[in-house]
Structure 1
Amino acid sequence: MDIVPLLDRIGEPQAAALFGLITGLIFGIAAQRSSFCLRASVVEFAHGRLGSRMAVWLLAFSTAVVWTQMAELSGMMRAEDARMMAVPGSISGAVVGGLLFGAGMVMARGCSGRLLVLAATGNMRSVVSGLVFAVVAQMALQGWLAPVRNWIAGLWITPGGTNFNLLTSLHLPQQSGFVIGLAFALAALWLARKNRVSLRVLFTASGVGFAVAAGWVLTYSLSQVAFDPVQVESATFTGPSANTLMFFLTSSPVLEFDIGLVPGVFLGAFLSAAWGRELKLQGFEGAGSMSRALIGAAFMGMGGMLAGGCAIGAGVTGGSIFVGTAWLALFCMWIGGMATSWLLDQRGAVAQPGLHVPH
């Protein structure tokens, strides 16, 4: 893919922001139309069901793996050049951060990416929660919470100065990544058929995975021809949310992939919701709902920074190139989310004696 003429015309920082915008638009449209949400899948699974939510999430995850591994096999990107693979990973951060993020997304009723999509449709609860998430993420990155984050993350670091590739660690051939993704995709399609998920939802869910692969390919292509160093990255919302917040608060903003990604997701989700006539102002359901959502958003901000990414950044984007700590963080997000869902169900059952808690 020859992007040199584009760079000559608009410049490297503008091209990076444009690629983020394109990735975000695809992600926002696909996520809004498919109702893609890790939190919904975790709650469904915690209640002993393998329903439509699980089918949608699994299809998005698997298509991200399939498209990304195809791109790598064809030479359109290299996993070892990705930022999250080229720097040391934190095993302790993945565990603690994953558990925190998983608990937070259940409390806030959506992961950071889902909050952004919902905010674009008029959900004011998601707007407020998203702002809290971005502020706490920035505090964990460079503010008052940074010493705590650094201490926890430094407890157990991957050796060798880099993260580790699960496929390499398990002595599997490179092609096995594509095969694993395909196996997950077949499982997702089986679940989708069992739960009568429509073809439209399946198509848009796969679009989430395609957006992740597109981000990888676009940033890798830019890194190969840019004069200044360019980070090879794709969709994630912890760091980009903090960076986008600071972009609008500082007097010397810097254009980069992150600055295009977040507005792109918002715009894509807004256009999709407007097209489907799903724009609707919504707020908090009471003081209890508000406090729980804001605490959950704060948990996600800190947890995402510790884990090296959010449910999208670590769970899907990092998972698509088999970053070891990303898969560990995703597993811990599931554990933290399910435990929190069970706890909230039990508290609800105590508050309402007649309430049935699914098993």
Structure 2
Amino acid sequence: MLNEAVDLLGEELVSLLGGLLVGGLFGFFAQRSRFCLRAATIEFSRGQGGARLTVWLLTFASALLGTQAFVAAGLLDVSEARQLAQQGSISGAMIGGLMFGCGMILARGCASRLLVLSANGNLRALLSGLVFAVTAQSAYRGLLAPAREWLTSLWLVDGGPSRDIMSVIGGGTPEKLGFSLLWLLAGLAGVARFRIGLRVTLAAVATGVAVVAGWLFTYQLGQASFAPVTLKSLTFSGPSAELLMQVLASPHLRPDFDLGVIPGVFLGSFAAAALAHELNLEGFFDGRGMRRYLVGAVLMGFGAMLAGGCAVGAGVTGASVFALTAWLVLGGMWIGAVMTDLVVDRWTMSRKPAQQAGDLAGRAAS
């Protein structure tokens, strides 16, 4: 079927439509499941557990297990994926992951979550997403590129087996499948413990399946095309930056998979919110809140380009092929998010009542 579509429409248009469909799938089910790494890390850091952490576990496990199942069946070969085949940066993964984790707490959402919320009418997320894309482009090819390149060059790792975390520790496909299954069991345990409904559970699984669909589509397109096709799946940092530059600086958009992902996610999330009657315009309440969002967006934009991916691009897509740097990025995101939540939100907020009481006492004494 894909061969016929390429012959009829051309490789570029088929790639674009594939990005739209995969992005739409992700956007629709991410909106319905409330998939959000930030919310999951907050529940974890506060020792609460609950629906958000369970949804993230289900999505993460579905992406890992689905990808590795197709690899084991011989229907997918991820050895040529950028996350494995090309040279990577350990220093970029560590520092970028920490920065991204801090930023997503401040901006109240990762890159994909901001895009999903923007489609629902959240103007705070829309502005933060635009600042994220501008910063990512600056870190990629603009003013911030020298800083990114310097930090990236501090600790490099060659492409190939040395970038496959399971190969490094002496494992293979069976071990990857077993490890992925453990994550799924953890998610299912959360479903039972916190009584997550069937619809949310299936939506969370479908969100992870969208990542698998991206790998399968680009791999099969490469098999059907005479020209080289980059093997990839969902990510938001690079495509957001590239889409912004094409819209601003090019009279002709270059159709490809990445170009379809961003509008696809937006349309999928919009459709899900419209069907559930959840479209609602929201804005900033004060200047202080706005500053927080903007600082977070800048940290995420630079951190994502330094790390080689966002919470989905590295934290789920890259992790699903067991890329060493992706797992380091994911760990950095969790650490940065937990630390930021502890210092900025919990510690600062706990001091405010005491400070307000002290101010009142001082005024009374005067």
TM-score over 0.5 (shorter chain): yes
TM-score (norm 1): 0.96
Structure 1 distance, partners of 2:20, 2:351, is 46
In the alignment, residue 199 of structure 2 is paired with which amino acid? R
Tell me if structure 2 keeps the 8 A contact 1:133–1:297: yes
Q: Could you tell me how far 1:251 is from its partner in structure 2?
A: 2.0
With over 3 angstroms needed to count, the CA separation of the structure-2 counterparts of 1:163 and 1:111, relative to structure 1, is farther
Query: Aligned to 2:184, what secondary structure does the other structure show?
Result: helix
Q: Could you tell me how far 1:285 is from its partner in structure 2?
A: 2.2
In the alignment, residue 350 of structure 1 is paired with which amino acid? R
Instruction: Tell me what 1:178 maps to.
Output: 177
Structure 2 distance, partners of 1:65, 1:48, is 25
Tell me if structure 2 keeps the 8 A contact 1:89–1:163: no
Query: Aligned to 2:280, what secondary structure does the other structure show?
Result: coil
Q: Aligned ranges for residues 49-88 of structure 1 at < 5 Å?
A: 49-88=48-87
Structure 2 distance, partners of 1:25, 1:161, is 32
The alignment yields a C-alpha RMSD, in angstroms, of 1.4
Structure 1 distance, partners of 2:329, 2:339, is 15
Structure 2 distance, partners of 1:260, 1:180, is 32
TM-score (norm 2): 0.94
- 2:325 is the counterpart of 1:353: no
Structure 2 distance, partners of 1:284, 1:234, is 33
Query: Aligned to 2:95, what secondary structure does the other structure show?
Result: helix
Q: Could you tell me how far 1:163 is from its partner in structure 2?
A: 5.8
Which sits farther off after the overlay, 75-84 or 146-155? 75-84
Q: Could you tell me how far 1:173 is from its partner in structure 2?
A: 2.6
- 2:60 is the counterpart of 1:48: no
- 2:34 is the counterpart of 1:35: yes
Deviations 1:20-45 (A, max 9, x none): 11110110011000000000011111
Q: Could you tell me how far 1:77 is from its partner in structure 2?
A: 1.6
Which sits farther off after the overlay, 256-265 or 178-187? 178-187
Deviations 1:33-90 (A, max 9, x none): 0000000011111111222111110010000011111111122221211122111111
Identity %: 46
Q: Could you tell me how far 1:160 is from its partner in structure 2?
A: 5.3
Tell me if structure 2 keeps the 8 A contact 1:65–1:319: yes
Q: Aligned ranges for residues 313-332 of structure 1 at < 5 Å?
A: 313-332=313-332
Tell me if structure 1 keeps the 8 A contact 2:107–2:296: yes
Instruction: Tell me what 2:112 maps to.
Output: 113
Structure 2 distance, partners of 1:212, 1:198, is 22
In the alignment, residue 332 of structure 2 is paired with which amino acid? C
Deviations 1:173-206 (A, max 9, x none): 3122122111111111111211111111000000
Tell me if structure 2 keeps the 8 A contact 1:124–1:282: yes
**Runs of 4+, deviation exceeding 4 Å:** 160-163
In the alignment, residue 167 of structure 2 is paired with which amino acid? T
Structure 1 distance, partners of 2:125, 2:30, is 15
Give the greater-gyration-radius structure (CA): 2
Structure 1 distance, partners of 2:215, 2:317, is 9
Deviations 1:205-248 (A, max 9, x none): 00111000000000011112222221110011000111111221
Tell me if structure 2 keeps the 8 A contact 1:84–1:323: yes
Tell me if structure 1 keeps the 8 A contact 2:86–2:159: no
Instruction: Tell me what 1:15 maps to.
Output: 14
Which sits farther off after the overlay, 253-262 or 343-352? 343-352
Instruction: Tell me what 2:187 maps to.
Output: 188
Deviations 1:230-288 (A, max 9, x none): 11100110001111112212123211111000000000000000000000000112111
In the alignment, residue 261 of structure 1 is paired with which amino acid? V
Tell me if structure 2 keeps the 8 A contact 1:163–1:325: no
